[in-house]
């Protein structure tokens, strides 16, 4: 009997096909999109300091921003809030984070918020912003 019909398999490593590379790229892209969406949903880092605030007034103010190399006038929502910071009462106009501002503008500022969460970086209390939770609206 001859053993010429038995062939050893090639020891080379299998190369990825274009289809497999495209599928892997799509999976990575979807994972990146999900990660960015989760991070955008929670606009502040847990290391930020927070305080509950009472909303005293709401206003829309013009704000000049640059987009695509052109200066454009936009509008942002600000809340006048009162809150405790390091044992002192603060009464300030603070900008609202973008997600909350879109909801407020969509509602036409009809449903005036009464409380919000003020958050700021630990070493920069001058950069405080407001965020409205669903349960606080």
pLDDT of residue 83: 93
Please give the Cα distance from 55 to 57 (Å, whole number): 6
pLDDT of residue 131: 83
Q: What is the DSSP string of 39-56?
A: HHHS-S-TTSEEEEEEEE
pTM score: 0.55
Residue that has been written with the tokens 């509008």 in this structure:
75
Per-residue pLDDT 10s for the chain (137 aa) are 556 666 666 656 677 789 999 999 999 999 998 887 766 655 555 678 888 999 898 888 887 776 677 777 777 788 899 999 888 899 999 988 766 666 666 665 666 778 888 888 888 888 888 887 654 44
Please give the Cα distance from 115 to 76 (Å, whole number): 18
Residue 64 near residue 71, CB atoms below 8 Å: yes
pLDDT of residue 80: 92
pLDDT of residue 61: 83
Please give the Cα distance from 91 to 69 (Å, whole number): 36
């Amino acid at each position: 009997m001859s053993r010429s019909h038995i062939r050893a398999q090639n020891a080379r490593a299998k190369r990825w096909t274009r289809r497999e590379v495209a599928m892997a790229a799509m999976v990575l892209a979807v994972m990146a999109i999900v990660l960015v969406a989760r991070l955008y949903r929670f606009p502040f880092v847990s290391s930020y300091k927070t305080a509950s605030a009472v909303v005293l007034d709401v206003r829309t103010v013009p704000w000049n921003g640059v987009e695509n190399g052109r200066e454009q006038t936009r509008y942002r929502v600000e809340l006048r809030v009162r809150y405790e910071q390091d044992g002192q009462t603060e009464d300030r106009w603070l900008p609202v984070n973008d997600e909350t501002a879109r909801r407020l503008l969509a509602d036409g500022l009809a449903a005036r918020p009464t409380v919000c969460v003020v958050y700021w970086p630990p070493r920069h209390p001058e950069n405080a912003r407001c965020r409205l939770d669903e349960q606080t609206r």
